[in-house]
Structure 1
Amino acid sequence: MAALAPPVAAVRTAVRRALTGLPGDGPVLVACSGGADSLALAAATAFVAPRLGRRAGLVTVDHGLQEGSAERAAAVAAWADDVGLTPVESVRVAVAGRPGGPEAAAREARYEALVAAAVRHRAAALLTGHTRDDQAETVLLALARGSGPRGLAGMPARRELSGVPLLRPLLAVTREQTRAACAVLGLEPWQDPHNSDPAYARARVRADVLPVLVDALGPGVLDGLARTAALAAADAAALDDLADAALAEARHPDGGLAVPALAALVPAVRGRVLHAWARELGATPGALSHRHVAALEALVSDWRGQGAAYLPGGRRVLRRADRLFGPDPA
């Protein structure tokens, strides 16, 4: 028997680790654009899942932003049928008119469609093909944007998205390995022109920044960035646990937050408490920024009788005596 090619083995091993012990008896759905990363993931899942007693399906999303996108989506769906994935869906989404830039709007539309498909099919999990290289790019973008520990934590291997478990099995697998796996398996990945379009920050990091870092510091820099994400994620999780307990402690029966309890917290925990509370008040995470949390922080640690702090959507938070209230107390 011929030895299994190392890139194929690496991708299958990563998928097996992600699916082993996964609760529920529903199928797992692979989000597949037809690019090398998601195509290698889909092929590995088609092989691994049945051997673990699990059905595996595929969802491909057509954003309608490029000529031939419908044909590309149809080709991915036809391939998935051929290799025995089921259920298989090709979903067209509307990107125009959504808030934010085109990249953010496309991402929002894509994940809405993927989650909806997972709910329809009662999927046990949704799988995406993000690799170690994607994680390194995410960390660099977070550094450039001043995102703090939460941003440096990058993409988690598992998270809940509107109640659907989202798994990223390939975060320890390189982009080079997924391309090599596709070549070994005779698969022809689609080359998304957006991935090399300098209009997008991630494309510039991929094409210009990472190669310079690798040339200057060696290929281990990618592992170092991914390891930074893992360490930051562990620290962020610990701080989030502390913040959850502190938020419960700071709540007052009148519905506000007790300023003395907030003032006693270290800044790293207090910022998380105020961020979580702002979300409770209706601020959407995507619109909630550092400046909003800093305005709430000023009501606690730099109180001079100033007026309200404003959250996204015009929601006001006021301080009265030793309480924070929001939005707009009676």
Structure 2
Amino acid sequence: MPDIMEKMDIAFPNLNIYLRNVPKSFTVFGFEIALYGVIIGCGFLFALLLIAKLAKKTDQNPDEYWDLAIYLIVFSIIGARIYYVLFAWDSYKSDPISVLYIRNGGLAIYGGVIAGFLTVFIYSKIKKKSFLRYTDTIMPGLVLGQAIGRWGNFTNREVFGEYTNGPFAMRLPLEIVRASDVSELMREHMSTATNYVQVSPTFLYESLWNVALLIILLLYIKRKKFDGEMTLLYLGGYGLGRAWIEFVRTDRLYIAGTHIPVSMALAIVCVVFAIVCEILVRGKFVKVKAPTENTEEKESSEEKKEE
């Protein structure tokens, strides 16, 4: 591995992978297109294809989800941007117009998820359909979209964590990294002979976590006990992974006036909410089922006596 990296290079030294000149954008007919946007778009597309397939398998109308997708794409992007800007306002207050420069990054997943849930809720009320059935069908697609979308952070050289020398350690040229994201520990492991920082690729950790969660959701979907259970599984599963990943990241967004990472706090709330709801609803489900079984047994025994 070279000690001096070119500006657009990315390396994974412990995997012996060196990627030269990884672009952030490309040009088509004179128009510059950011890879970040292309990857996010691919995430939406594959998510919607999976959602439509699951809708068909569960005797729902896939067209309803394609119609919903138009609103979901628009409002989830707006929500993701608003969430990010609200908790990183210091970076935008001197140049408010930069809030519109989404191609440079700055979309917070939780903001998109919150806006998405609100959109689905309103849509379900208009269509007079089950909100939880909609969200249960959407969750696997959402996780797939997140797994793909995180690679937009890779091309943007963002969403990474503290210094590590583990197997997935990643090196980035210092000149392309925001100074605010470079920690003291990273600087301590730099030398005058190198021009890069070595970091934890938290975008990769989260992408892999989402793939694992997707597999769990797809395996469990036929076994769900009640509408909303897939949604709870997503909230708890993603929240669990996001909480520990957020702990490693150096670009955390904080609740104003505190040192509490907002996404970590929200992730923990989601995990607790999912566990409590699962216990309460399953408990209610068992209680409802038990009297029914006892009644059936009683009726059966009475029939035998009459015989």
Q: When you count strand as a share of all residues, which structure comes out higher?
A: 1
Q: When you count helix as a share of all residues, which structure comes out higher?
A: 2
TM-score if structure 1 supplies the norm length?
0.30
